[in-house]
Amino acid sequence: MGKLDGRVVVVTGAARGQGEQEARLFVEEGASVLVADVLDEQGRTLAKELGARARYVHLDVGREDDWAAAVEVAKEAYGKVDGLVNNAGILRFNALVDTPLDEFMRIVRVNQVGVFLGIKALAPEIEAAGGGTVVNTASYTGLTGMAYVGAYAASKHAIVGLTRVAALELAAKGIRVNAVCPGAIDTAMSNPALLAPATTEAEAGGEAEAGAGAGADAEAASAAVARFYRKLVPMGRIGRAEEVARLALFLSCDDSSYITGQPFVIDGGWLAGVRAM
Ligand SMILES: NC(=O)c1ccc[n+]([C@@H]2O[C@H](COP(=O)([O-])OP(=O)(O)OC[C@H]3O[C@@H](n4cnc5c(N)ncnc54)[C@H](O)[C@@H]3O)[C@@H](O)[C@H]2O)c1
């Protein structure tokens, strides 16, 4: 028995990173998963590997027509949709006063508008399926500030707000809505050395969180990331995408049946406070 037997879940940004691990775990737990992303080749390869209970769809989360098409693909393939993981996201580093409006708006469009459109498109489907769950991917920076990621932090704070409002509006329709707030997680966003050579930043809209440059020796960059987080995070390490996937699973299955409207921090203790010694 899987924790998601018979469920049909759309996971955005599922071609790699946390979304990929969520898609893998959800299929393992019995769900059918719509692997949604803008990285078509990677997404298709993953869906093929996962088998009959996975299907890839090109979904730019900032486009309302893409959402409508994805809903149709899911219903045609699996008959219904009763789960959503809004995971797609992008990051840029910049001081607020140096951030071009266009860059700010690009981040808001994917991170914030993407979550809004996802809820808007899927909530009626989830209700029609008899209820279900939405998990939004916010961030540590959805609950506190971090210098040089102003647009990102603003969009992630907005996701926490949207999560609370959606939970209030959708509870009576049998839909629970929660958010995961990861700290530093070892994916291409925090460690671009993990990117396959063929995957360009332009394709995914991703960018380094820890500042490792493109073309840097992958092993050295990974070691630098590990050293950085060993000092910064109380638990002494960066998080793993699989760990966030397990939290998303908890929030998507009956183990969390009485929980809605909450942000869940998963950060190795980073947000707990500061150490004086
Ligand atoms: N890695 C971290 O340290 C960290 C920390 C906190 C929060 N997060 C959040 O976790 C989520 C997943 O990020 P990740 O760490 O796996 O990084 P990632 O860059 O590996 O994955 C992001 C995915 O989103 C996809 N994507 C980008 N723009 C899209 C669009 N317009 N439509 C659909 N898909 C799009 C990318 O193609 C990619 O597959 C993001 O929302 C990110 O902001 C990450």
The pLDDT tens digits of the residues spanning 152-197 come to 999 999 999 999 999 999 999 999 999 999 999 999 999 878 776 5
The answer as to CATH 3.40.50.2000 being correct for domain 8-183+239-264 is no
* DSSP 8-state class, residue 30: T
Give how far the C-alpha of residue 24 lies from the chain's centroid of Cα atoms, to the nearest Å: 14
Q: Between the CA of residue 71 and those of 74, 171, 228, 256, what are the distances in Å?
A: 5, 21, 41, 25
- Per-residue pLDDT, 100: 98
- Per-residue pLDDT, 126: 98
Active site positions, annotated: 152
Average the pLDDT over 5-16 and give the result.
Answer: 98
**pTM greater than the 0.85 cutoff:** yes
Spatial separation of the C-alpha atoms in residues 170 and 119, rounded to whole Å = 10
Q: Can you tell me which atom of ligand 1 is nearest the CA of 86?
A: 41
Dump pLDDT digits (tens) for 111-142: 999 999 999 999 999 999 999 999 999 999 99
For residue 189, give both structure tokens.
Answer: 């966003």
Spatial separation of the C-alpha atoms in residues 212 and 226, rounded to whole Å = 12
Dump pLDDT digits (tens) for 76-94: 999 999 999 999 999 999 9
Spatial separation of the C-alpha atoms in residues 163 and 150, rounded to whole Å = 20
For residue 184, give both structure tokens.
Answer: 């530093």
Taking CA atoms only, the protein residue closest to ligand 1 atom 37 is: 204
Give how far the C-alpha of residue 20 lies from the chain's centroid of Cα atoms, to the nearest Å: 10
CB of 192 closer than 6 angstroms to any ligand 1 atom:
no
The residues pairing with 137 across neighbouring beta strands, listed in sequence order, are 180
Given a contact cutoff of 8 angstroms between Cβ atoms, the answer to whether 186 and 241 are in contact is yes
Average the pLDDT over 255-266 and give the result.
Answer: 98
What DSSP string runs through 190-210? T-GGGS-TT--HHHHT---SS
Q: Is the dihedral of CA 163, 167, 263, 70 positive or negative?
A: negative
CB of 141 closer than 6 angstroms to any ligand 1 atom:
no
What percent of the chain stands above pLDDT 90?
Answer: 85
Given a contact cutoff of 8 angstroms between Cβ atoms, the answer to whether 243 and 159 are in contact is no
| Ligand 1 midpoint to CA 188 (Å) | 8
Task: Kindly tell me if the per-residue pLDDT of 213 is higher than 80.
Answer: no
| Ligand 1 midpoint to CA 12 (Å) | 9
Q: Can you tell me which atom of ligand 1 is nearest the CA of 209?
A: 3
DSSP H stretches of helix in 51-113? 64-78, 101-107
Task: Collect all residues with Cβ–Cβ distance below 8 Å to 117 and sequence separation of at least 6.
Answer: 61, 62, 63, 64, 67
What's the count of helices (H) and strands (E) in the chain, helices before strands?
9, 7
Given a contact cutoff of 8 angstroms between Cβ atoms, the answer to whether 166 and 123 are in contact is yes
User: Structural domain boundaries of the chain?
Assistant: 8-183+239-264
Given a contact cutoff of 8 angstroms between Cβ atoms, the answer to whether 70 and 56 are in contact is no
Taking CA atoms only, the protein residue closest to ligand 1 atom 40 is: 89
- Per-residue pLDDT, 221: 86
CB of 118 closer than 6 angstroms to any ligand 1 atom:
no
- Name the nearest CA neighbour of 135 among 270, 259, 268: 259
